[in-house]
Structure 1
Amino acid sequence: MDISRLPAAARQRRSSEIRAFLRSRRARLTPADVGMPAGAGRRTPGLRREEVAVLAGVGVSWYTWLEQGRDINVSADVLDAVARVLRLDDAERVHLYLLSGLNPPPPSPPKDQDVPDGLRRVIDGWLPRPAYVIDRHWNLVAVNRAARLVFGYGDTDHNCLVTFFTNARYRAALCHWEDAARQITGQFRADAARYPDDPEFGRLAADMCAASPAFAEIWAEHPVGSATQGTKALDHPEAGELVFDYTSLPVPELPGHRLLLHTPAPDSGTAERLAALQGTPEAAAR
């Protein structure tokens, strides 16, 4: 449906409806619902616009225009991302599509289906140890069950950088968070330099600066780093202390993608705790 061809009165009604609809859906969620810290001096009921934008992986300005009912280009992918963050049910998702001028498509297939079968088997075969695949923008494209349990990745966690700085549970669990924050920011800046013609890195960095004062402060210092291997230590709320050695490997079939494999650090007790967390005692011997 070409909204620009609607009568002026109809366009005005549509703008008012989508504005009220999205505001009401933001208002019914709290930062805690999506794993974000509330922060001090908060006056906005529910989620802020910039928080929805960052969690959905869209520009803050674009989301603001969407909520204002402006005549902008929309796609199924971005509407689905917004619907996922706002936890819209099927009827609400259809309503958002129609208000945005799109015909609702059939339910989207899981994004893991885009991962080659061989790589999918590697990720699943790495169980009970955590493994996942990210694309060049650090979006999570495939995550095994152990990674979800250990790192707390949920339906609203679509990007490693966003989760690191906005997920309150992840921040509370990760040991030496400040050092890790500087390291991960430097790695992201180094990755961005490899793709100077890709504006997505700049958009994501700008949105993160708006949503996370911690990221904005570190980003302004221009740290640069790179890591193909390292160590992650966290205090898991159920399993206790977990320490992993990780390795980052390129994925030839998917240029720009990386496979991250995590192995329990020797003599740390992590293997046993990981097995207990997943309810698989035999995992400790692997």
Structure 2
Amino acid sequence: MTSGSPAVARRREQLSDFLRTRRARLTPADVDMVAVGRRRTPGLRREEVAALAGVGVSWYTWLEQGRDINVSNEVLDAISRALRLSEPERAHLYLLTGLNPPRVGGADADVTPELRQLLDAWSPRPALLQDKYWNLLALNDAAKTVLGYHDTDQNCLITFFTNTRYRGMHGHWATIAPDIVAAYRAEAAHSPGDPEFARVITELTAASPEFADLWARHDVGAPIQAVKAVHHPEAGDLLFDTTNLAVANHPDWHVILYNPRPGTDTEARLHRLQRIRLAAPA
């Protein structure tokens, strides 16, 4: 935690209140400890939390007081376990100490049936779910047939540069590629040192000289809001606007819905393509 600004001071106050209230709601019995002596206030003592987390009493006291000390992911996770924090509470603790909450487990396992139903219900229009790394968490069949995604595609940025079918269906690919890379750099800048951003960038730099050249420019830009143009081999020219929706319980996840551009025949072409696909033999 760094010192100086009023925002940091407020965050430290919130951290202090948060840790005290989480400690106060637990009893020694809740954490399989034997209560020793009389207690003037409810809840666990600081030394008990420190013992459960495997940290020094002085260090934990300084943390709870909001002092300017160094914290690590490992220690925050140990304190989270000691205080029996829920996953949202654990993420909140990370944010109050100025760190980015790490991802938990496999993202695909957390995609709810309701989210998948939303994507499927959007057909014959494309829809997909991605995280802040632009990893593809789920997509409907239309995203594959209309936009050119494969079952093996796992990241939208990697797909953009390495999937030849996808590239072939996007006539303005070369024009928008610099803006795509600039938007990704801006996204990654919010999480310096994040290993998942580093993985995507390293993998794509090795796989695509075009990406490597664009990344070396160090351009930074806002997310692209332009009309998406697709030339489909069966449906012809398609134009989409996109709607980007954040997922309430996963703020780093976004549902992207592709809306046929008003004033075009894209909607009719999509339905015609769907009828062709349904009529085709399995």
Q: TM-score range by the shorter chain?
A: 0.5 to 0.7
Asked if the contact 1:250/1:256 (under 8 Å) is kept, the reply is yes
**Residue 150 of structure 2: aligned partner:** 154
**Structure of greater relative contact order (alpha carbons < 8 Å, 6+ residues apart):** 1
1:219 aligns with 2:228: no
**In 2, distance between residues paired with 1:111 and 1:197?**
20
Matches within 5 A, 1:233-272: 233-272=229-268
Tell me how far 1:111 sits from its aligned partner. 7.4
Matches within 5 A, 1:98-109: none
**Residue 121 of structure 2: aligned partner:** 125
**In 2, distance between residues paired with 1:131 and 1:234?**
14
1:179 aligns with 2:175: yes
Q: What letter corresponds to residue 114 of structure 2 in structure 1? A: G
**In 1, distance between residues paired with 2:204 and 2:109?**
28
Asked if the contact 1:233/1:241 (under 8 Å) is kept, the reply is yes
Q: Deviations over 1:64-115 (max 9, x none)?
A: xxxxxxxxxxxxxxxxxxxxxxxxxxxxxxxxxxxxxxxxxxxxxx975531
Tell me how far 1:168 sits from its aligned partner. 0.9
**Residue 207 of structure 1: aligned partner:** 203
**In 1, distance between residues paired with 2:109 and 2:225?**
27
Bigger CA radius of gyration: 2
TM-score by length of 2: 0.57
**Residue 112 of structure 2: aligned partner:** 116
**Residue 133 of structure 2: aligned partner:** 137
Tell me how far 1:233 sits from its aligned partner. 0.2
Aligned in 2, Cα 1:111/1:252: closer, same or farther, shift over 3 Å? Answer: closer
Q: What letter corresponds to residue 128 of structure 1 in structure 2? A: P
**Residue 193 of structure 1: aligned partner:** 189
SS at 1:263 equivalent: strand
Q: How many residues were matched structurally?
A: 172
Tell me how far 1:205 sits from its aligned partner. 1.0
RMSD between aligned alpha carbons?
2.1
**In 1, distance between residues paired with 2:110 and 2:226?**
28
Tell me how far 1:218 sits from its aligned partner. 0.8
- Residue 275 of structure 1, aligned match among 267, 271, 281: 271
Matches within 5 A, 1:20-169: 114-169=110-165
TM-score by length of 1: 0.56
* Unaligned ranges ≥5, structure 2: 1-105, 278-282
**Which is further off, 221-230 or 163-172?**
221-230
* Unaligned ranges ≥5, structure 1: 1-109, 282-286
Asked if the contact 1:230/1:247 (under 8 Å) is kept, the reply is no
Asked if the contact 2:119/2:128 (under 8 Å) is kept, the reply is yes
Aligned in 2, Cα 1:190/1:111: closer, same or farther, shift over 3 Å? Answer: closer
Asked if the contact 2:133/2:197 (under 8 Å) is kept, the reply is yes
Tell me how far 1:117 sits from its aligned partner. 2.8
Q: Deviations over 1:124-175 (max 9, x none)?
A: 2212211100012111111011111111212211110111000111111102
Moved over 6 A (4+): none
Asked if the contact 2:180/2:224 (under 8 Å) is kept, the reply is no
**Residue 46 of structure 1: aligned partner:** none
Aligned-pair identity (%):
49
